[in-house]
Structure 1
Amino acid sequence: MTTAYISHQDCGLHNMGPEHPESPIRLHAIQRVLERSGLIEQLLSLQAPHVEPEQIKRVHAELHQTRLEMKLPTEGVVYTDEDTALCPDSLHAASLSAGGAVLATDQVLSGQVKNAFVATRPPGHHAEFKAAMGFCFYNNVAIAAAHALAHEGIERVAILDFDVHHGNGTVDIFKDRPEVLVCSTFQHPFYPERYCEIDRPNIINCPLAAFSPASEWREAVEKRWLPALEEHKPDMIFISAGFDAHKEDPMADLNLEEEDYRWVTEQLMAVAHKHCKDRIVSVLEGGYNPIALAFSVLAHLEALSA
């Protein structure tokens, strides 16, 4: 079975300006490296569809989408907070980004592919139940996980977040849903400093000090994530795949490299093989050095498609 690669060119229409790190260049760099490596030919490439309103409402407040639509400008840029801006095409791109995660879930659940990677933007893991923040409008991975849980036979899922920023939105949405295990490694203290000290059995937060070596990050995965996954026994695994903990990323101060992302992917694939019938959906989050991002995604996808 193959790996699905889901994207859409219109995700590039979301543009917060030439100085903003979450730029369309990110997806262009990934696409170019996958093409030059030849790996793209081994993947099932699919176009992301739009998300359905009822899929958003599984994880966001009833009026969340409406509030964003009311703020959408007809021209220029409007900021929802100091980091997150809407341009006229932003919600079009955000809908495709969330819809891509749903499509990936359907592809994996139907058995058409073994696993899937969703290369879309804007990202999602900072979007909370009632709030867009941190470059994120809809929580893509949360929407996908809730979509999976609506299917017969999927009773427990796990979301593993290795972005350098804490996945506060995912924690906010699932903190009181024990069927969802959320594990997160992140630099601390650091943005967004929300929910990083929450105490719930299904929330495994692994804060790391700035400039920590990759060995400490791997230790957190081995000693915190893997035992929690073994106890939870998920029916499906979701990955919030942020690559901004890379040592070359300008947004943070951790020291991961491409081989660390390959390693963690292999660890999670082993869990998926044991408990989930190999079912994994990985959704792009951060990563703001285009070259480091693209080669980290390549390592991640090489492992997923092995």
Structure 2
Amino acid sequence: MPFSPANERRRSSVSPHARAPPRSPLTKANLNGITADAQFTSPGLTRKASMNSLRSVNSGTPNRTISRRGSSTPFLSPTTARSPTGLPLIPKGVVEETPRHTAASVASIYFAKELELLHGVASDQSAETIVILHDDCYGHRYSRPRASKSLLSTIVERPERIQASVLGVSMAYVRLGHRHCEGKHPIHPDLDPKTLPNIPFRIHKTARKVAISSTTVTNVHGTKWMEELKIMCDSAEAKLALNGNELRRPEMNRGSDVEPPQHLHQGDLYLCSESLNAFEGALGAVCEAVDTVFSTSPHQRAFVAVRPPGHHCSASFPSGFCWVNNVHVGIMHGILNHGLTHAAIIDFDLHHGDGSQAIAWQHNKRGLAKNAASWKKTSIGYFSVHDINSYPCEYGDEEKVKNASLCIDNAHGQNIWNVHLQEWKSDVEFWKLYQSKYSILLEKTRNYLRLQTERFQAAGQVPKSAIFLSAGFDASEWEGAGMQRHKVNVPTGFYARLTRDVVRIASEEGLSVNGRVISVLEGGYSDRALYSGVLSHLSGLAGVEPMTPKEEGAFDLKHEIGYRSGPFSRRSTLNEGDLRSLKAFEFPYDPNWWSITELNRFETDKIAPPPEPKKPRVVTPGNYSSPTQSSNAKMTEVAKIRRSLSNLSTPQTSMPRSPTPPPPDIYWTTAAHELSKLLIPTNRQVDSCTHSELNAEAAKAKKDRQSLQPAVNATNDTSTAPTRMSLRERKPVSYLEDDDYKSRRRTVAGPAVIAVPKVRPEP
């Protein structure tokens, strides 16, 4: 879906003065008004308009406040006089106000042009990274009626998480691309997006869907479970309308050897009328990313910002907010359509991806059979870093804890490695953990990719691999206390460093990856954790590390190729010529971007945007009279009017214009907010259901009961005991007798008059 300003509604931050109002055509009625105004402004014409009428035949009541002070200064009528050149005729000293641009309006207008010109289908911009969005994902929301406010506060999986992710995408684009006043390409009203050298990554909004009944999905989740999920989604709206349970599993033939279905956890799972569209839209976005990185396009890496997550969903059972395993469906799409022979999943969510590991184990196990289909003989490796004390191992379930701690290296067709997060007290201590403990996960991934490449080459097949990232940001230092009960959070820079190391592995020779990295959004339940994590993640995916002082001014080829000391000393698939040609299109990132100072600055700008510049005061004189029907009848012929106007249409009488003010400074915070407003759709609901919406019927019933209450009280009035006040009869007292009232003037007297009592004459 190409971006266009016509497709996205302009936000409210765009200044209403950005567009000048249309000028009315020169009609006979307007010409009459011009004649009257010309008589007021030209010394050669006499004033014939009546001063008694405040209502004009042409324009009705004047739209200017009538001054209380008389003056002989000539003024304009409501119908502004114009010269034959089209410029209005106004008195000297009155200056037309020029449109005032605000930082928000300039940023909104500019990014609308850039999205249309540089991110549309016809764009010729080349970027190695693409970000894919899907608007249908906003439709999956908690919709059970009669939900209490305390219950709604526990539903952490909601559409607002996608909005926070889009904020992170916008921040990364503005920062990496220097689209702000402190960057290399400051935004101003006359900036042409096509004159910029390149874009840090492409933003693509897709409308593609993949049906859950397609082979790509059923090869992962099975036919029966997808049929059951389809039935549940189709009946969810009707069940919710009747205050029923939308998670009740339907009665259907599941086979004789299948155990009775497990009950779905209502605290972690929910469905609504738009859930199916959200599931299929998320799958469509993932498959679009796979097609993109396997095509001949310059995009080698992709980030898919879709929800709900998927790594807790096993082959036939959803859990932990996850209904369909998005990453595994993407891998299966690559196997069936692009000849993918092996894929590695690197999961850095706070929680163990038990569903993804179980599907990988099951897939590799059925591929060991000699008569297995070719797509079953492909290999999937799973590598995860997570907290062993958090969900799904939080209650110490033996099987779940064992699965989250499993490490098996190329045995029985399985390649699975799990690393547990540890506590740390300083940044130095954390990065020592990263080098000594967490980087082992990357080394195991590299060994797996190399062994599988050699295995397929020995079998006479052409190996083709890719790395998939289950990108969860709920281990962030900014995640809420509910997710950080065990204090094993990671600094925000962890996501940039890990992602950049994965990109290096993808570019190495002998792994058959050829730079292909597909990242799919998983967890993250705090807005700050999400947008700061996405900013850091995209900085590592689309950007490069900031150059050290020793490297400034010289191109360190060994640094770029990967000749480094330590476990990542490997040769890149890019030669020296390719690296030198790509040097001009690099986008270095700065770790200070996600510092607490900058994040506070970003949130403050969102809550209280910077004040708009004050507009210069322009004094417009009032209108003391308007032409009446009598004055219009005494006007001269049209030819004489034109001759008189031709004498008046001199450059001195044309409307002067004030000098154009300088464009406002657009800081990165304002630019990121305005870009996100263009990416978040405005033609659909993008927020969670509120308490009042879910309790509308209950509120209506309560209101009906309250409306019946007065009628009940009215029938019981006779049974109540009379009070002393109810028995007293009070007659109205008149303080003015008839004679006084008749003689009183119908005006309001002053205080001095009112204070003097009246003296009645003696009879």
Task: Name the TM-score, length of structure 2 as normaliser.
Answer: 0.38
Q: Which residue number in structure 2 is paired with residue 188 of structure 1?
A: 388
* Alpha-carbon contact 1:162-1:185 (below 8 Å) kept: yes
Deviations 1:241-263 (A, max 9, x none): 00111122122332212210000
**2: distance between equivalents of 1:141 and 1:222?**
22
Q: Which residue number in structure 1 is paired with residue 237 of structure 2?
A: 74
How much has 1:25 moved relative to structure 2?
1.0
**2: distance between equivalents of 1:33 and 1:200?**
36
- Among 205, 210, 218, which residue is 2:418 paired with? 205
Deviation larger for 11-20 or 262-271? 11-20
* Alpha-carbon contact 1:165-1:187 (below 8 Å) kept: yes
| Matched residue type, 1:26 | R
Deviation larger for 188-197 or 203-212? 203-212
The number of residue pairs the alignment matches comes to 306
Q: Which residue number in structure 1 is paired with residue 440 of structure 2?
A: 223
* Alpha-carbon contact 2:208-2:281 (below 8 Å) kept: yes
* Closer/same/farther in 2, CA of residues 89 and 143 from structure 1, 3 Å limit: same
- Among 526, 532, 537, which residue is 1:300 paired with? 537
Query: Aligned with 1:22: secondary structure?
Result: coil
**2: distance between equivalents of 1:65 and 1:259?**
39
Deviation larger for 54-63 or 211-220? 211-220
- Among 487, 492, 503, which residue is 1:269 paired with? 503
* Alpha-carbon contact 2:168-2:530 (below 8 Å) kept: no
* Alpha-carbon contact 1:187-1:210 (below 8 Å) kept: no
Query: Aligned with 1:288: secondary structure?
Result: coil
Q: Which residue number in structure 1 is paired with residue 682 of structure 2?
A: none
Q: Which residue number in structure 2 is paired with residue 254 of structure 1?
A: 488
What is the 5 A alignment of 1:96-135?
96-112=281-297, 113-135=299-321
* Alpha-carbon contact 1:115-1:279 (below 8 Å) kept: yes
Query: Aligned with 2:384: secondary structure?
Result: strand
How much has 1:186 moved relative to structure 2?
0.8
Deviation larger for 142-151 or 121-130? 142-151
**2: distance between equivalents of 1:59 and 1:84?**
20
* Closer/same/farther in 2, CA of residues 43 and 292 from structure 1, 3 Å limit: same
**1: distance between equivalents of 2:540 and 2:422?**
28
- Among 335, 343, 364, which residue is 1:149 paired with? 335
* Alpha-carbon contact 2:499-2:541 (below 8 Å) kept: yes
| Matched residue type, 2:520 | V
Q: Which residue number in structure 1 is paired with residue 215 of structure 2?
A: 54
Gaps of 5+ in 2: 1-126, 144-151, 178-198, 248-263, 365-378, 394-399, 410-414, 453-464, 544-763
* Alpha-carbon contact 1:2-1:114 (below 8 Å) kept: yes
* Closer/same/farther in 2, CA of residues 225 and 5 from structure 1, 3 Å limit: same
**2: distance between equivalents of 1:30 and 1:239?**
16
Deviations 1:75-131 (A, max 9, x none): 547343131111121121011112211110110011321110000011111110111
| Matched residue type, 1:121 | R
Query: Aligned with 1:5: secondary structure?
Result: strand
Deviation larger for 242-251 or 231-240? 231-240
How much has 1:217 moved relative to structure 2?
5.1
**2: distance between equivalents of 1:217 and 1:176?**
30
Query: Aligned with 1:135: secondary structure?
Result: coil
* Alpha-carbon contact 1:50-1:98 (below 8 Å) kept: yes
| Matched residue type, 1:11 | C
How much has 1:168 moved relative to structure 2?
0.7
* Closer/same/farther in 2, CA of residues 29 and 132 from structure 1, 3 Å limit: same
- Among 126, 129, 134, which residue is 1:8 paired with? 134
* Closer/same/farther in 2, CA of residues 24 and 199 from structure 1, 3 Å limit: same
- Among 259, 268, 280, which residue is 1:95 paired with? 280
Deviations 1:274-296 (A, max 9, x none): 13111000000001111121111
**1: distance between equivalents of 2:436 and 2:325?**
28
Name segments (4+ residues, structure 1) moved above 4 Å.
209-213
What is the 5 A alignment of 1:19-34?
19=153, 20-34=155-169
| Matched residue type, 2:473 | F
Q: Which residue number in structure 1 is paired with residue 759 of structure 2?
A: none
* Alpha-carbon contact 1:48-1:97 (below 8 Å) kept: no
How much has 1:132 moved relative to structure 2?
1.0
Q: Percent identity of the aligned residues? A: 29
Q: Which residue number in structure 1 is paired with residue 225 of structure 2?
A: 64
* Alpha-carbon contact 1:6-1:45 (below 8 Å) kept: yes
| Matched residue type, 2:305 | A
* Closer/same/farther in 2, CA of residues 156 and 288 from structure 1, 3 Å limit: same
Query: Aligned with 2:310: secondary structure?
Result: coil
- Among 456, 467, 474, which residue is 1:244 paired with? 474
* Closer/same/farther in 2, CA of residues 214 and 287 from structure 1, 3 Å limit: farther
- Among 445, 449, 460, which residue is 1:232 paired with? 449
**2: distance between equivalents of 1:28 and 1:256?**
23
Pair 1:288-2:525 in alignment = yes
How much has 1:64 moved relative to structure 2?
1.7
* Alpha-carbon contact 1:149-1:157 (below 8 Å) kept: no
Task: Name the TM-score, length of structure 1 as normaliser.
Answer: 0.91
Structure label with greater radius of gyration: 2
**1: distance between equivalents of 2:217 and 2:532?**
31
**2: distance between equivalents of 1:12 and 1:257?**
29
How much has 1:214 moved relative to structure 2?
3.8
Deviation larger for 33-42 or 234-243? 33-42
Q: Which residue number in structure 2 is paired with residue 175 of structure 1?
A: 361
**2: distance between equivalents of 1:24 and 1:199?**
35
Q: Which residue number in structure 1 is paired with residue 170 of structure 2?
A: 35
| Matched residue type, 1:74 | E
* Alpha-carbon contact 1:129-1:173 (below 8 Å) kept: yes
* Closer/same/farther in 2, CA of residues 33 and 161 from structure 1, 3 Å limit: closer
* Alpha-carbon contact 1:204-1:225 (below 8 Å) kept: no
* Alpha-carbon contact 1:185-1:220 (below 8 Å) kept: no
* Alpha-carbon contact 2:496-2:536 (below 8 Å) kept: yes
Query: Aligned with 2:307: secondary structure?
Result: coil
**2: distance between equivalents of 1:184 and 1:147?**
22
* Closer/same/farther in 2, CA of residues 199 and 3 from structure 1, 3 Å limit: closer
* Closer/same/farther in 2, CA of residues 57 and 44 from structure 1, 3 Å limit: same
Deviations 1:149-180 (A, max 9, x none): 23455211100000011011111111144511
* Alpha-carbon contact 2:294-2:338 (below 8 Å) kept: no
